[in-house]
């Protein structure tokens, strides 16, 4: 089938989707199924890899090659897939527990290597599949089944972590903001290198409303700032508020002020991307969504392939016999 003829339907399987009714995962699935046919990639070249957790059931619902691996290890399995065949489009579906807790090590190493995979991290700030324990993104004081007195764990800031690892593409979006979600997935797909996307995802069973104070229609205009490349960080229902940097300190000012913070996703210096990851943490600034940073760089799989091709072309054709008989050899003659 030519990729141009593909539709979202071609990417959905006959498997019954088994997420809870009302789960944010549905809209993410739908967005991905809508974006994939537009990418010009044949269906058989997609591989969707996941770990363990609610979000990691994702591959079963995508009619591509898929691998539901073990808890936390999706980036490691994906590394083998992408290095073995760099022509594949490899996507990872993971959650906050899978990616940041049990799989933290693989996540940071995939990002520092700039492996050319797209990581969609569904952040619902809770362990859903194990029925409601706090996660590495749960807020301090969170009362859950495993923290009846409130969690004393300080949470990870996933995007600060990604920026710190040198990730070459870092973005955030929201499950219920469908056009935004799709546009971020498209931007991730267009990036050559590791794309790390945090998706605010509501778990209506174990952590309902986790992001409601930012993402509810009634508040989002004031609580979120949608990053637009080359444009100032303006927000508010009336587009009347903006962010200005006072040294390294962001402050909310009127949109009419001068010296507003103008977003440059392609800035090669990660400092501002890091500062963006610190917005919206309770100091009155809004939470940014969109592409935080994007940087062109050689990929791990590309470099591996290049080394191999160079080795092959400089040695010419090889044969096993000469390898086995290389080095110091001697002949034992038959005894007469």
Please, which residue, 106 or 220, has the CB nearer to other proteins? 106
The residue from 63, 98, 116, 226 that contacts other proteins (CB under 8 A) is: 63
Of the ranges 126-134, 148-156, 266-274, 304-312, which one interacts with other proteins (CB under 8 A)? 304-312
Strand pairing partners for 232?
Answer: 262
Binder to other proteins among 213, 254, 269, 307 (CB under 8 A)? 307
Task: State residue 294 phi and psi, 5-degree precision.
Answer: -155, 130
Residue burial 155-173, b: 16+ Cβ < 10 Å; e: rest? bbbbbbbbbbbebbbbbbb
Establish if 312 lies at the interface with other proteins (CB under 8 A): yes
Q: How many CB atoms lie within 10 A of CB 51?
A: 27
Question: Quick one: which segment of 72-80, 211-219, 243-251, 267-275 binds other proteins (CB under 8 A)?
Answer: 72-80
Rule CB under 8 A: say whether 98 interacts with other proteins. no
Question: How many residues are present in the chain?
Answer: 336
Question: In terms of Cα–Cα distance, which of 236, 233, 219, 196 is closest to 93?
Answer: 196
- What residues numbered 205-234 form the site for other proteins, per CB under 8 A? none
Question: Among all chains, which residue has been given the structure tokens 């034992």?
Answer: 332
Query: Does 5 help bind other proteins (rule: CB under 8 A)?
Result: no
Q: Three-class SS of residue 258?
A: coil
Nearest residue to 58 via CA among 130, 120, 102: 120
Q: Does 45 bind other proteins (CB under 8 A)?
A: yes
Q: Applying CB under 8 A, which of residues 22, 44, 141, 259 lies at the interface with other proteins?
A: 44
Whichever of 68 and 244 has its CB closer to other proteins, that residue is: 68
Choose among 137, 132, 51: nearest CA to 98: 51
Name which of 45 and 180 has its Cβ closer to other proteins. 45
Cβ proximity to other proteins, 256 vs 327, nearer residue: 327
- Pairing verdict, β 224-226 and 65-68: unpaired
Which is closer to other proteins, CB of 208 or CB of 303? Answer: 303
Rounded distance between C-alpha atoms, residue 252 and residue 35, angstroms: 35
Nearer Cβ to other proteins (212/311): 311
Closest CA to 77 of 96, 100, 94, 62: 94
Q: Which residues would be at the binding site for other proteins (CB under 8 A)?
A: 1, 13, 15, 42-47, 49, 52, 59-60, 62-70, 73, 75-85, 87-88, 105-106, 109, 304, 307-308, 311-312, 314-315, 318-321, 323-325, 327-335
């Amino acid at each position: 089938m030519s990729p141009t003829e593909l539709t979202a339907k071609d990417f959905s399987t006959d498997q019954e989707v088994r997420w809870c009714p009302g789960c944010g995962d549905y809209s993410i699935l739908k967005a991905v199924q809508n974006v994939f046919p537009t990418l010009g990639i044949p269906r058989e070249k997609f591989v969707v890899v996941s770990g363990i957790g609610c979000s990691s059931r994702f591959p079963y619902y995508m009619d591509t090659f898929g691998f539901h691996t073990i808890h936390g290890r999706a980036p490691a399995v994906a590394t083998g897939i992408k290095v073995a065949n760099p022509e594949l489009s490899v996507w990872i579906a993971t959650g906050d527990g899978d990616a940041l807790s049990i799989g933290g090590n693989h996540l940071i190493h995939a990002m520092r290597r700039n492996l050319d995979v797209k990581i969609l991290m569904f952040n619902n700030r809770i362990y859903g599949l194990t029925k409601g324990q706090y996660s590495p993104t749960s807020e301090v004081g969170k009362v859950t089944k495993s923290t009846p007195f409130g969690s004393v764990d300080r949470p990870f800031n996933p995007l600060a972590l990604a920026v710190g690892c040198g990730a070459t593409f870092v973005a955030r979006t929201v499950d219920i903001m469908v056009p935004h979600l799709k546009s971020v997935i498209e931007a991730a797909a267009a990036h050559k290198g590791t794309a790390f996307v945090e998706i605010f995802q509501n778990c209506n069973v174990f952590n309902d409303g986790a992001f409601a104070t930012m993402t509810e229609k009634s508040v989002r205009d004031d609580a979120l700032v949608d990053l637009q490349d080359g444009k100032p960080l303006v927000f508010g229902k009336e587009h009347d508020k903006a962010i200005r940097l006072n040294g390294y300190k962001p402050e909310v000012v009127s949109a009419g002020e001068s010296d507003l913070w103008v977003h440059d996703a392609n800035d090669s210096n990660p400092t501002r991307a890091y500062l963006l990851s610190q917005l919206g943490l309770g100091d009155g600034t809004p939470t940014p969504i969109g592409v935080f940073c994007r940087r062109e760089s050689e990929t791990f799989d590309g470099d591996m392939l290049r080394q191999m091709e160079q080795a092959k072309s400089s040695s010419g054709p090889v044969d096993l016999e000469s390898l086995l008989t290389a080095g110091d050899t001697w002949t034992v003659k038959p005894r007469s």
